[in-house]
Amino acid sequence: MKVLVVGRSGQLGRALAAGVPAGVALTVLGREEADLSRPETLAAAVARHAPALVVNAGAYTAVDRAEAEPRAAWAVNAAGTGALARAAARVGAPFIHVSTDYVYDGSGAAPWTEADAPGPLGAYGASKLAGEYLAAAANAAHVVLRTSWVFSPEGPGFVQAMLRLGAERESLSVVADQVGRPTSARQLAAAIWQIGPRLVSGNGVPGTYNFSGGGAFVSRLDFAAEIFARAGRKAPALAPARTEDFPSPARRPLNSRLDLTALADAWGIEPADWRDELSAALSAA
């Protein structure tokens, strides 16, 4: 099975390449060959490689900068995603796209289900939600995975930031009012490798699904404490903070709890505990 992945340099693109299963002929393209902000490059790349499956692992992820340059975020996350989904449809290839918990407004404390109305708080979330809609409209054989708090051995991300800051400081303030479940890029890639072949064979349920690590919901503060514990490092003094204590151009969702029931029912996927995935990522770093 020929698979084309767009987004070579990101955490997910690297994880997809590292975990490619037997029987898959994988091509992973970077921006120089398939630029999500330039739709013509996407159509040409897909036509040239003629894959059986297309995966979009690329995105504009500068959440704060998106507030100042929403057109740039929209070009990649919305228009680019739609263009890639259309290009896949032209060659008869299903399309898998990775989205974000930022499509929800972060209110309440109940885990979000796919049936809940989205309500992005900023330009980044709005552009990702638009990309979901455009992908679905362009390619009926699609799966969108809404994920949260992605980490990997190489980063960059929250794990690397905590370890760096912990080595530099005796105390750290970490937000305690943002709650969710971390997701390893490895387990997200593994889920895509489970879903993809079934989509190609027609033995799957297209649509939008939540995906995160399994196990307990935690705050960012709890996540930080687990990072230091699993890394075997002495933790700095960790103090709880509120999101509003760290003003930023973009608002962050406080409730990023994702309900994974639909994923299990449709695909039989029950993600491993994020804490075990964290240990694996720290061992591989």
Strands 218-219, 179-180: pairing kind:
antiparallel
CB atoms within 10 A of CB 201: 11
In the residue annotation, 124 being an active-site residue is answered as yes
The catalytic residue among 102, 104, 124, 209 is 124
Report the catalytic residues.
Answer: 124
